[in-house]
Structure 1
Amino acid sequence: MRIDNPFSRVLHVDLDTGLSRVLRFGARSEHLGGSGLAAALYAEYGLPDAPALDPRQPLIFAVGPLTGFFPLMSKVVCGFRSPYTGEWAESHAGGRLALSLRFAGYDALMITGAARTLSALAVGARSVDVHDVPYLRGADVFSTGKHLRRFGKTSSGHRSCIRIGPAGENGVGYACINVDSFRHFGRLGAGSVMGAKNLKGIVVMGDGVYELPESKAYPKLMRDLFKDVTATDKMKKYHDLGTPANLLALNELKALPWNNLQKTTDERIDGISGETFAERFLLRQTACAGCPVGCIHIGLLRQQFASDHEFLYKQVSYDYEPIFAQGSMIGITSAADVLALLDETEKLGLDCMSAGVALAWVAEALEKGAVTEAETIVPIRFGEAQGFLEALRHIAMGSNEFYRALGAGTLKAADAYGGAEYACVLGQEMAGYATGEVFFVAQAYGFRHSHLDTGGYSWDQSAKDNDARKAVDFLVDDEYKRTLINSMVSCMFARASYGPERIAECLESLGLGDVAANLSTAGRNMQNLRWSLKCRTGFDVHAVRIPKRFTEVVTWKGGIDMAYMEELRGMYAQEILRMASQADS
């Protein structure tokens, strides 16, 4: 397959009929790829008036024009209608999936309909097969992966295996899709979209070829970029301690959420610091396909059986956000306990951040009497891992009415049982940055309700004054630059290496001069289109809630400036409406 064609090559699989077709979709110079391509596909094939879990809704996996050609162009955008919010959503993941799609010859895989029985989809350059796997119903993520790897053995080196656990089958609002064991489409419920399609897993076999560009500019640019990310300090943090290096720093800044954000620092941080994980538990490091950095840190968890002489050894990936969500946020100060919780979360197919923050709310709600053990089934207390382990299973299985409500989202449970004022939800369960007003507004209103929508947390730490206009202008422009990166599709860690000018240079070297020439216009248009789709599928900027707990936070700067935060809210809401209206005009 050649990359320098004007259209995107999209494989559409209809699970209702079992039929597939290859679409020549859109102009690459208009939608770019990745995030833009996913949005353009939903604009064409999505059903704005149908619910998120209607099987007819498309589930889209898209790569970009730079995938496979440059270092750290290793991510896939999963586009879907979120069962958590009801809105158009994205989640991003690495692993081997991006290169597998590239070698299979597709810019995107789009799935509609539902299989007649629990199934697995196997996709290659010359084959599309739907396999009945009813025997995998209820199976955990790891067991499912072992079975799915039977498909496409001949292309195992270029093969990716993605799958869901019980949480996705049971429709939990924050069920994730596991990607190649250690990566995830984690947030906003993509796993439940797969579950609604009766789809347990997808195997993508990269059993084709694609041609490298013949231009003289490409090999030089490739060498320069490789050197930029390996021979400088840009990626040192991510390779060495990884993102867990943030734990000590944020705790020192009084910006690390503890005990459901009741405080922002704790002297017991050493038990779950990045240094402790590295010194006591780090087994190995690995990388997504196409990345030379190796930021994926794998911890070794040793669990003892009843017999004193029998042990089970497990490999568990960890990063900053998982450690925050299932460590400090729930009062856990033992790195081994964090790994045990993350392992259970992984098996069940839950988003670790939403699950951890949801259980932090439960622990406080129990303390305050909003719920009792009649609802929680097990005692859930800050700092006690066993109760949280059992509660994770109850969320995934929807064991009773309370856990079914909690599985739909913390605020939904809080609205039903009380305690909404201390539900740590900003569009979805918060990320681990209690840095202040700009971050809180950025996540509550942001497109993915994610800390990766913009650098709001960095603005909080670097801004010298509370100028709402400057902050909102930064959020909008930073999101635009990230839209470009997410349309290519790069790892966000490489954003310092892939500014708009460098992206255009990369496109030129691949023979995509028309895409490079229209990059700025297309980027703004795709930013606007994403907002238009989000608003058309239910996002109401006037209904956004920032619970009271966020107004009580005290950081290194002091308390929250409520007037400043309200000004930010109003300005950012207007900018979102402006962008959405530009796409609709």
Structure 2
Amino acid sequence: MLGEDFVRVLYIDLENRKADIRERKDLYKYLGGTGVAAKLLEENMKKGLPPLHEEQPLIISIGPLSTIFPVVTKAVATFISPHTGEYGESHAGGRLAMAMRNAGYDAIVITGRAHKPTYLLITDRNIEFKDARAMWGLDIEEVGRVVREREPGPGKRSIIRIGRAGENLVTYSCVNVDTYRHFGRLGMGAVFGSKNLKAMIIMGERDLPISNLKEYFKTYQEIYKKATQTDAMAKYHELGTPLNIKVLNAINSLPTKNLLQSTFEHADDISGERFAEKNLIRKVSCTGCPIGCIHIGQFRREFDKGYEYESIAVSYDHELVYALGSLLGIRTSDEVLEIIEEVELAGLDAMTTGVVLAWATEALQKGLITKEDTLADLEFGNTKEYIKAIDYIADRANEFYYTIGNGLNEAVKKYGGQEFALLYGGNEMAGYHTGYGFALGQTVGARHSHLDNAGYSYDQSAKELKDEEIVDYVIKEEKERNVLTSLCICLFARKVYDRPTILKALHSIGIDWTDDDLTRLGNDIFFTKLRIKKELGYSLENYRFPKRVFETPTLWGRMDEERLNRLLRMYIDRVEKEYEDWSRGQ
């Protein structure tokens, strides 16, 4: 809690419609965000129960710097992932961190299952359990509209909600946050659905007590100038992450057509430059951020005969353009936006949806599945058929869509095609086929995300590949990112918030930590997550990478399977030794 030596946790029991607030001094050493969320997950999870059991918890946490410093905009959620069956973590921006701060909560723990569809209204004065039966079945956009009409309230609020995919427990359904942001990937939307929780509205008007305003303001200004007047974050405002499309395409690293290719003949037509020239209409920021990295693109859609069109605005970034563009062979920016819109309304994770559909396209070509299964003529480049399939996934339209609604791990068990299923550690591939650093990094990351350790960055910056360096990079970077995400700093601002800057910001609000304290925090979180994963049965022993990743060239040429397996073994051995040393010190 800002200005205090404790973390203020709101506990919500959906089944009994009860709420309780506790001031947890023992959590203070984890600061907030990832650290606090991981510890609260560990102490509340039920390891003998399935991920979507009503007793499993859902945690959302912010940090001490949240929204009072530039680009400290994230809220962190943890849960048992229905997608992988192990540790789940997701981050989202928007207005959520601000709303939690103004409502006076550092973390929220939700357990139980409501007896009927419910939405929560959380304020600094009250917690209300409200009837959401009329919202059940509505898409993301409609839910937002209904909630805004029902709960006008003050402007300092955040609305998070699920679509049909979350209601139907698709294991890669997401939670939409304030329209343009998301808790994506590992199935937080299904966790909401399993709890009969359709939406949450959080708002409040609490003061933010900062004791030394002079020092705080001086530090704020220094960080603001660093973020806005240097090139540290310039690329995120200008073209945004879609600038990666042309860059990766030029170095044989853009996954295309289910990774049958690593370059795309239409890359220029779905590049960041093309989106900016043809579709970009505005740039939006999360609350507390001066950068404006959220790029909103527009496309026209005909809704009736006689040249009747409507203009549709959706946000886009590299991962969406990769997964719903190059990976599916989609040739134009308009068509990519059209597919993104369908994914958004259904409440699905864009990356996993794209990878699943790319696999299904190839599986159909190879005869592993039929059109009776797909109900759509899936072929690379066919936008209209992919849009049909997206709705079928969200609705779990038949046995095939029910199966792929549980992700590629389940799909290949039933239909085969494991050799071309783009999976790393049980999570679908992100948009970087750069080489060994990426392949190892996404596989071993705590949440199997490319953002856990950015192994792709090593691939792109290294002058030569050295096995020890790759393993060392992946471990050190994940620990350092644990520090950043415990403070809820957007990872786009990692060059702004170096260690001295972090310590100065903390000092300005009365938290006198040292560099050693930050190192200890990064280690504690890294191994706490590993301990959670072990308790849930996680193991990389006997792990096998999909054959496809070795068949298609990367920046460094084709990867050697034996070398990647050796890197994985090196990583496991080193982390196990460090884990034993850490455990003895606890």
Check conservation: 1:330, 1:383, Cα contact below 8 A: yes
Which range moves more in the overlay, 21-30 or 374-383?
A: 21-30
Aligned-residue offset at 1:222 = 0.6
- 1:202 maps to 2:173: no
**Equivalent position to 1:251, from 245, 249, 269:** 249
Q: Deviations over 1:222-263 (max 9, x none)?
A: 100000000111111100111001101100111000000000
Secondary structure, counterpart of 2:134 in structure 1: helix
Q: Deviations over 1:431-450 (max 9, x none)?
A: 00000112111101211111
For residues 22 and 304 of structure 2, the distance between their equivalents in structure 1, rounded to whole angstroms, comes to 56
Give, as a single letter, the amino acid of the residue that structure 1 aligns with 2:43: E
Q: Deviations over 1:447-493 (max 9, x none)?
A: 11111011200111222333211111111111111000000001000
Which range moves more in the overlay, 217-226 or 559-568?
A: 559-568
For residues 514 and 135 of structure 2, the distance between their equivalents in structure 1, rounded to whole angstroms, comes to 43
Gaps spanning 5+ residues in structure 1: where?
none
Secondary structure, counterpart of 1:204 in structure 2: strand
Check conservation: 1:435, 1:460, Cα contact below 8 A: yes
Q: Could you tell me which residue of structure 1 aligns to residue 273 of structure 2?
A: 275
For residues 545 and 17 of structure 1, the distance between their equivalents in structure 2, rounded to whole angstroms, comes to 44
Aligned-residue offset at 1:173 = 0.8
Q: Deviations over 1:159-190 (max 9, x none)?
A: 00000000001010100000000000011100
- 1:317 maps to 2:315: yes
- 1:136 maps to 2:130: no
Give, as a single letter, the amino acid of the residue that structure 1 aligns with 2:210: L
Pairing of 1:134-533 with structure 2 (within 5 A): 134-155=133-154, 157-214=155-212, 216-427=214-425, 428-513=427-512, 518-533=517-532
The size of the alignment, in residue pairs, is: 583
Check conservation: 2:171, 2:406, Cα contact below 8 A: yes
- 1:540 maps to 2:539: yes
Identity of aligned residues (%): 41
User: CA RMSD for the aligned pairs?
Assistant: 1.5
Aligned-residue offset at 1:65 = 1.0
Check conservation: 2:499, 2:515, Cα contact below 8 A: no
Q: Could you tell me which residue of structure 2 aligns to residue 3 of structure 1?
A: 2
Q: Mark the CA change 1:117 to 1:582 in structure 2 (over 3 Å): closer, same or farther.
A: farther
For residues 238 and 481 of structure 1, the distance between their equivalents in structure 2, rounded to whole angstroms, comes to 21
Aligned-residue offset at 1:517 = 6.5
Give, as a single letter, the amino acid of the residue that structure 2 aligns with 1:63: I
Check conservation: 1:105, 1:210, Cα contact below 8 A: no
TM-score by length of 2: 0.97
Give, as a single letter, the amino acid of the residue that structure 2 aligns with 1:371: I
Q: Mark the CA change 1:133 to 1:317 in structure 2 (over 3 Å): closer, same or farther.
A: same
Secondary structure, counterpart of 2:446 in structure 1: coil
Q: Deviations over 1:534-578 (max 9, x none)?
A: 221121121433111111120242211333212211111223434
Secondary structure, counterpart of 2:304 in structure 1: coil
Q: Deviations over 1:176-205 (max 9, x none)?
A: 000000000011100000000000000011
Secondary structure, counterpart of 2:548 in structure 1: helix
Give, as a single letter, the amino acid of the residue that structure 1 aligns with 2:183: F
For residues 287 and 281 of structure 1, the distance between their equivalents in structure 2, rounded to whole angstroms, comes to 18
Aligned-residue offset at 1:85 = 0.8
Give, as a single letter, the amino acid of the residue that structure 2 aligns with 1:52: P
Check conservation: 2:435, 2:554, Cα contact below 8 A: yes
Q: Deviations over 1:249-281 (max 9, x none)?
A: 100111000000000112221111111111111
For residues 139 and 572 of structure 1, the distance between their equivalents in structure 2, rounded to whole angstroms, comes to 45
For residues 318 and 289 of structure 1, the distance between their equivalents in structure 2, rounded to whole angstroms, comes to 18
Give, as a single letter, the amino acid of the residue that structure 2 aligns with 1:521: R
Check conservation: 1:261, 1:553, Cα contact below 8 A: yes
For residues 438 and 517 of structure 1, the distance between their equivalents in structure 2, rounded to whole angstroms, comes to 27
For residues 570 and 394 of structure 1, the distance between their equivalents in structure 2, rounded to whole angstroms, comes to 40
Check conservation: 1:244, 1:319, Cα contact below 8 A: yes
For residues 226 and 34 of structure 1, the distance between their equivalents in structure 2, rounded to whole angstroms, comes to 22
Which range moves more in the overlay, 301-310 or 179-188?
A: 301-310
Check conservation: 1:141, 1:349, Cα contact below 8 A: yes
Q: Mark the CA change 1:582 to 1:102 in structure 2 (over 3 Å): closer, same or farther.
A: farther
Q: Could you tell me which residue of structure 1 aligns to residue 565 of structure 2?
A: 566
Pairing of 1:38-57 with structure 2 (within 5 A): 38-57=37-56
Give, as a single letter, the amino acid of the residue that structure 2 aligns with 1:402: F
Secondary structure, counterpart of 1:10 in structure 2: strand
Which range moves more in the overlay, 176-185 or 303-312?
A: 303-312
Q: Mark the CA change 1:581 to 1:314 in structure 2 (over 3 Å): closer, same or farther.
A: farther
Q: Deviations over 1:293-336 (max 9, x none)?
A: 00000011210023123212211000000000000000001111
Aligned-residue offset at 1:214 = 1.5
Q: Mark the CA change 1:549 to 1:63 in structure 2 (over 3 Å): closer, same or farther.
A: same
Check conservation: 1:63, 1:488, Cα contact below 8 A: yes
Q: Could you tell me which residue of structure 2 aligns to residue 126 of structure 1?
A: 125
